């Protein structure tokens, strides 16, 4: 279905993603883990064509999407909707209009300028919001909602595109545990019920284990692990994160970085950095 072949992204001398190869042969829920700077976001951005690859190919059902331009590229971006840590909603706009923004790629500029949406689209937006348990918030401004609710609005906006793939870049990194759970459950349900592939950059190991069928570990731009959650032992996780023996399973990549920074600072005799 989706095949990523030796995908590479260089920024000057720095290689953010280094010959990443990934084969997804059927709809799946995949978690990508790795410490900060491992290349997780860059990989998703290349898949969505927000960033161009320096080398390598992305094939979707045999079609090379790396080479798409103009309208074909936009059509691909509709097929693989992206969700971000910061929701990227229009805060002062009402929830349902935010969701309708998901149809932007296939609407005329004129209709967009005048905020004209077909009734059928409005009904569908409400239906999707209902499915995500937030239909009652439809008329409210997006900024009036909690983080978890806002992220569900972003998921609804993505679903409005009827995408084959959902790419989520740390969708729960700014949420409290309760909201994080609701959002991950929503993504899981979208995979289970609709058969959409969800590829999710995740901050914590336990989230990846709990919600994903397959976990991909990245380190220094390379894919260093690709397997089942059960194969993700503490030893493997330590390899992926490049962490020491004090590595804790519950730690997030940020916590590991902070830990490393404080250890480095302590070694130098300086005050720890938090």
> Given the rule CB under 6 A, which residues bind ligand ATP?
11, 14, 16, 34, 36-42, 253
What gap in Å lies between CA 103 and CA 110, rounded to an integer? 14
Window contacting Mg ion (CB under 5 A); options: 40-48, 172-180, 233-241, 264-272: 40-48
What letters, b where the CB count within 10 A reaches 16 and e where it falls short, cover 221-256? Answer: bbbbbbeebeebeeebbbebbebeeebeeebbbeeb
> Which listed residue (8, 41, 150, 197) binds Mg ion by CB under 5 A?
41
Window contacting Mg ion (CB under 5 A); options: 36-44, 111-119, 217-225, 256-264: 36-44
CA 109 to chain centre: 28
In Å, what is the CA distance from 98 to each residue of 157, 185, 265? 7, 21, 45
**Nearest distance in Å: CB 14, ligand ATP:** 6
**Nearest distance in Å: CB 189, ligand ATP:** 25
**Nearest distance in Å: CB 242, ligand ATP:** 13
Q: Report what 148 binds from ligand ATP, Mg ion, none; CB cut-off 5-8 Å by kind.
A: none
Q: Report what 42 binds from Mg ion, ligand ATP, none; CB cut-off 5-8 Å by kind.
A: ligand ATP
Task: Using CB positions, name the residue nearest to Mg ion.
Answer: 41
What gap in Å lies between CA 223 and CA 94, rounded to an integer? 40
**Nearest distance in Å: CB 39, ligand ATP:** 4
Q: Report what 187 binds from Mg ion, ligand ATP, none; CB cut-off 5-8 Å by kind.
A: none
CB distance 207 to 180 below 8 Å: yes
**Nearest distance in Å: CB 53, Mg ion:** 17
Window contacting Mg ion (CB under 5 A); options: 25-33, 37-45, 96-104, 180-188: 37-45
Give long-range contacts, CB 8 A cutoff, 24+ apart: 124-133: 124/160, 125/96, 125/99, 125/100, 125/156, 125/160, 126/96, 128/99, 128/156, 128/159, 128/160, 129/95, 129/96, 129/99, 129/153, 129/156, 132/156, 132/186, 133/182
Q: Report what 14 binds from Mg ion, ligand ATP, none; CB cut-off 5-8 Å by kind.
A: ligand ATP
Q: Which residues contribute to the site for Mg ion (CB under 5 A)? A: 40-41
């Amino acid at each position: 279905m989706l095949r990523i072949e030796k995908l590479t992204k260089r920024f000057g001398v720095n290689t953010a993603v280094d010959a990443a190869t990934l084969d997804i042969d059927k709809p799946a829920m995949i978690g990508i883990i790795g410490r900060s700077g491992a290349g997780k976001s860059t990989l998703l951005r290349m898949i969505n064509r927000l960033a161009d690859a320096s080398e390598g190919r992305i094939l979707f059902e045999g079609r090379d999407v790396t080479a798409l331009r103009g309208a074909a590229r936009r059509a691909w971006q509709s097929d693989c909707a992206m969700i971000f840590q910061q929701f990227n909603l229009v805060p002062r706009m009402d929830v349902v209009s935010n969701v309708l923004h998901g149809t932007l790629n296939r609407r005329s500029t004129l209709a967009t300028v005048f905020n004209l949406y077909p009734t059928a689209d409005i009904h569908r937006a409400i239906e999707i919001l209902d499915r995500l348990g937030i239909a009652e918030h439809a008329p409210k401004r997006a900024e009036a909602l909690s983080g978890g609710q806002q992220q569900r609005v972003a998921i609804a906006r993505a679903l409005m595109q009827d995408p084959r793939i959902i790419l989520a870049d740390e969708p729960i990194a700014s949420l409290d545990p309760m909201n994080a759970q609701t959002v991950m459950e929503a993504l899981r349900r979208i995979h289970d019920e609709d058969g959409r592939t969800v590829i999710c950059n995740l901050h914590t190991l336990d989230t990846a284990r709990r919600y994903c069928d397959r976990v991909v570990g990245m380190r220094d731009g390379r894919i260093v692990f690709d397997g089942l959650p059960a194969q993700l032992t503490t030893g493997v996780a330590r390899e992926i994160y490049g962490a020491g023996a004090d590595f804790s399973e519950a730690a997030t990549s940020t916590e590991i970085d902070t830990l490393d920074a404080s250890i480095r600072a302590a070694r130098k005799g300086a005050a720890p950095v938090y």
